[in-house]
Amino acid sequence: MLSLEALPILEDNYIWVLHDGRAALAVDPGDAAPLAAWLRRRELALVAVLVTHHHSDHVDGLPVLAADWPGLTVHGPARVSGVTNPVTGGRQVTALGMTFEVLGVPGHTLDHVAYWSAPWLFCGDTLFGAGCGRLFEGAPGQMFDSLGRLAALPDDTLVCCTHEYTLTNLRFARELQPDHPALAERWRVDGARRERGEPTLPSTIALERATNPFLRAGEPALLALTGTDTPLAAFTELRRRRNGFR
């Protein structure tokens, strides 16, 4: 039986850790110290790392972790320093006895990948709770297609993204659609979680399909709100508006 933990680091990041009570897998370790301390308190050996993309808040812990756990296997895009097994979309990786499908999800960065092994989806900065990542390297069409690839996963897929942006994303979504009942309910539930000091994550693909405006860009209401006539155009306009939202 595997357990999943969300380890808060930096300002609003999470390192996701899967473990079986003896060995552990970590996802996007942007800071080594809190992860290493957490693992040692629980007497867990770090055996593998999954990296979704090259940004520093996802990879800066790699050198220390590799030194502390010799033989550590690091899966990720080839441009990431410290990766021992370069991966791209369409590949598979094995860790903790599980096989993960590697999904190419360009948009936030051109070589961004996600890892899926039911029920877990580790999607980095592509799909967020009620939102999606900024387009630092990719084009809107690439991100739109990447999100569609993730939205096609089973309803009960657990969305394990790497930032606690959910409430800000929900405020944006509710400004667009203040009377949307599913958004109101998610705001109530996730707001209560944050007040208790709990993560809003993981969410599910079903919840994201119901409440995430970037997955709903083709709905008539959002086409009308954005003044566009195609789902991609609506997505592009929503992302533009979200860029300036605080």
Write out the catalytic residue numbers.
53, 55, 57-58, 108, 125, 163
How far is it between the farthest Cα atoms of the chain? 55
C-alpha–C-alpha distance, residues 122 and 127, integer Å? 9
As annotated, the binding site for Zn(2+) includes: 53, 55, 57-58, 108, 125, 163
Closest CA to 36 of 54, 63, 11: 63
Closest CA to 96 of 44, 19, 39: 19
Strand pairing partners for 92? 101
Where helices occur in 11-133 by DSSP H, the ranges are 32-41, 56-59, 62-68
Strands 45-50 vs 73-76: parallel, antiparallel or unpaired: parallel
Q: In what helix (H) or strand (E) does residue 191 lie, and over which residues does it extend? A: helix 181-195
Strand stretches in the chain, DSSP E: 3-9, 13-19, 23-27, 45-50, 73-76, 85-86, 92-95, 98-104, 113-117, 120-124, 127-128, 131-132, 158-161, 203-204
